[in-house]
Amino acid sequence: MSDSDGNKLGSETSPYLRQHKDNPVHWRPWGTEAFEEAKRTGKPVLLSVGYAACHWCHVMAHESFEDADTADVMNELFVNIKVDREERPDVDTIYMNALHMIGEQGGWPLTMFLTPDAEPFWGGTYFPKMQRFGRPAFVDVLRTVAHTFHEQPQKVQTNAEALRSRLEPTKVGGDSVALNDATLDNWTRRFLQAVDPQTGGTRGAPKFPQSNFFSLLWRAGIRYDVESLREAVNLTLTHICQGGIYDHVGGGFARYSVDDEWLVPHFEKMLYDNALLVELMTEAWRETKSPLYQRRIEETVDWLLREMVTEGGGFAASLDADSEGEEGKFYVWDYDEVKELLEPDDFKLFAEIYDITPDGNFEGKNIPNRLHTVQLRDEDTEARLQEMLQTLFKRRSIRIRPGFDDKVLADWNGLMIAALANASTAFDKPEWLEAAEAAFDFVFTRMSMGVRLIHSYREGPGSAPATASDYANMIRAALSLANATNNPEYVEQAAAWAHVLDTHYWSEDLGGYHLAADDTDDIIVRPLNAMDDATPNANAMMVSNLSALASWTGDNAYTDRAEKIITSFGPAITANPVGHSGMLGAALDRLAPALIVLMVPEGGDPAAMRAALRDVSLPNVVIDEVWADETLPSTSPAAGKTVVDNTTTAYVCIGPQCSLPVTEPERLVETARGARVAKTA
């Protein structure tokens, strides 16, 4: 066996890559060595991208990558590279974009064929071992692609050059609609047509939480005082909270529902989905005081702190969909098993409420859900149901657990830190704030090299460079912690990370942030766009962050940069507004940055004013406590404002306009609710 032979994933720390370390496939990690081997041998590259919690990745692995005959063909014809998309989101983004460009639907596992120069020329997603699902057999695909590569090199090169050219980010041309209140009010009302009027979410199946989209609807519903927008969000959140997409026994939300009712989840649990849903539910709870939202938030945070905290306080990435080689096995129930666990009267009630039947609601099994009666019962009944759920939880705890991906990702941690910080203030949960600060400290201390962040950590810092999303989401985390603690060091750190973004990610020509840094030297292009994904886009996140930094510091350079981003992406947003929901939400922050200044006299206490703010939703608001010995910058809209009657005094500022002084908590809520509504609405 030569030095180039054999599987080389054994020393990798990614749980996904380690799942493949014993495959007979001669896998290589992403890097120069693999592409040098391709050039030396004259072979094309087979790039396989997936992640640890991916069900169809497991299926393809069992069918093909663990099969010696298939592996022999792969090893003979290709240099095989395996990538964890969560560890290298920049690599995944490049080749997923290429897949879309050749007219294929995206998904994982991503299977792309590259030249030895890393240029894609063809690809797909899951390929079955034998021909089925209308897809060719994987080995047939391998032989055809390899034959084409060697026998029709000009065709391959033409495809590769065309894709490479299209992958390079360019400035989108075309008309741009001004993102003012009139436009955003009009667009978001029209977006309602996409919402399922029965169960919420967007129409059709599968159903994803679509947090960017529904966060936009919530924010527009507040800004333009449109009840139907807020109702669409509440309809969606209620059904998500009561559907099978929510784990009623153990807490936490699955990634999506395969049906149009939120019943049958794709059972994997991702950190980012839970962060975004906690964030949105917290804002909705501030206005509705929904006991259902409060319960689901508390249960989800309980799950997070019980199962997803790694040594040192960082949050783990995901829980798998599969256990014992079967999707959802850990989460579903036999009718007789539940009947055996509960007393007869309890079982009758539980089966009625949670849809437990002899025939089951999923492949003969039962997924607990409350979709047929989404309203909570009386307190005594709910308490009784909680005891039954605890009984099921104890029984489930002895089952073989799903796979656990315990790597810590800076970008996903940033989302959860922000969500926890905001929820801790809403629900007065200091232990949640403590967990958020511990996770922030983990990223700051263990995932930093000087002023630069590292994207991933497991058994030590990973080698993957940070993406713009790592910085953007951790800046959001820092600013959320600043709101919760009034510690100026968090604002200083946010500003320092913003400087790194400006230095290494900013494109002056395109007017936005590249996903990859200027010194990321192992990728063929540096993606740059503002489109929504499952997680917020870094450019959209930074518009909100920059607006908040301007409020915190009074530095209008942050405002100028936010405006430049919005203007640069204007034509792309106009061409596809729904696909830029995150950017539209960020545009609201730019139109109407919200600042609440609490001026505290010597010996004063802002606690009552802070507590009052639990009753009003002002997403991305800056809450700045200014004590007797402090002054605001002259560029702040609240500059020169003073304490009244030697008591804590609040000023609610939306854009350049500030309210009259407020000294009573109840009046602060009324003032904030009045100030947040656009004057044209």
> Could you read off the pLDDT of 125-135 as tens digits, one per residue?
999 999 887 78
CATH code (residue 644): 3.40.30
**525 and 669 fall within a common domain:** no
CATH number, domain of 436, equals: 1.50.10.10
Q: Is the pLDDT of residue 3 over 50?
A: no
pLDDT tens profile 616-638:
999 999 999 999 888 899 999 99
Q: pTM for the full model?
A: 0.96
21 pLDDT more than 70:
yes
pLDDT in tens, 179-230: 999 999 999 999 999 999 999 999 999 999 999 999 999 999 999 999 999 9
Residues 210 and 345 placed together within one structural domain of the fold? no
- Residue 4 located in a structural domain: no
599 and 587 fall within a common domain = no
Tokens of 576: 């596809």
Ordered alpha helix ranges (H), 54-152? 55-60, 68-77, 89-101, 138-151
Helix or strand or coil: residue 299? Answer: helix
At residue 589, what are phi and psi to the nearest 5 degrees? -65, -35
Query: Using one digit for the tens of pLDDT, what is the confidence trace for 572-601?
Result: 999 999 999 999 999 999 999 999 999 999
Which residues form the domain of 287?
181-324+403-591
Q: Does 130 fall in a domain? A: yes
pLDDT at 4 over 70: no
Structure confidence by residue, pLDDT tens digits, 603-614: 999 999 999 999
Query: What is the C-alpha separation between 189 and 584, in angstroms, rounded?
Result: 13
**Residue 680 resides in a domain:** no
> Does pLDDT of 173 surpass 90?
no
What does the pLDDT look like over 279-318, one tens digit per residue?
999 999 999 999 999 999 999 999 999 999 999 999 999 9
Whether residue 436 has pLDDT greater than 90: yes
**Interatomic CA distance for residues 491 and 478, integer angstroms:** 7
680 confidence band (pLDDT: 50, 70, 90):
low
Interatomic CA distance for residues 315 and 440, integer angstroms: 10
Model confidence over 105-149: pLDDT tens digits? 889 999 999 999 999 999 999 999 998 877 889 999 999 999 999
Query: What confidence score (pLDDT) does residue 1 get?
Result: 38
Q: Report the CATH number at residue 108.
A: 3.40.30.10
Residue 173, domain member (yes or no): no
The answer to whether residue 7 is domain-embedded is no
Mean pLDDT of the chain: 96
Residue 267 scores a pLDDT above 90: yes
Assess if residue 174 is contained within a domain.
no
Indicate whether 570 and 603 sit together in one domain: no
Co-location of 385 and 413 in the same domain: no
| DSSP E strand boundaries for 197-328 | 256-257, 265-266, 269-270, 316-319, 322-323, 326-327
Count the domains in the chain.
4
Among 297, 272, 295, 589, which Cα is nearest to 423's? 297
> pLDDT tens digits, residue range 30-69?
999 999 999 999 999 999 999 998 889 999 999 999 999 9
601 shares its domain with 576: no
The answer to whether residues 162 and 93 belong to one domain is yes
pLDDT > 70: percent of the chain: 99
Distance CA 482, CA 332 (A): 41
Say if residue 200 is in the same domain as residue 259. yes
Q: Residue 453 — φ and ψ, nearest 5°?
A: -90, 155
Q: Does residue 489 register a pLDDT over 50?
A: yes
Q: Is residue 85 part of a domain?
A: yes
Same domain, 460 and 423: yes
Query: Pick from 563, 591, 619: which residue ends a domain?
Result: 591
| Domain closes at, from 591, 619, 634 | 591
For residues 111 and 23, membership in a common domain is answered with yes
* Residue after which a domain boundary falls, among 145, 167, 189: 167
Please tell me the number of Cα atoms within 13 Å of 431 on its side-chain side: 6
Task: Compute how many other C-beta atoms are within 10 angstroms of the C-beta atom of residue 661.
Answer: 18
Q: Are residues 586 and 598 in the same domain?
A: no
On whether both 163 and 254 belong to a single domain, the answer is no
Per-residue confidence (pLDDT) for residue 629, from 0 to 100: 83
Structure tokens at 586: 């960020």
What are residue 640's phi and psi, to 5 degrees?
A: 85, -5
Residue 3 resides in a domain: no
Copy the structure tokens of residue 520: 């990321």
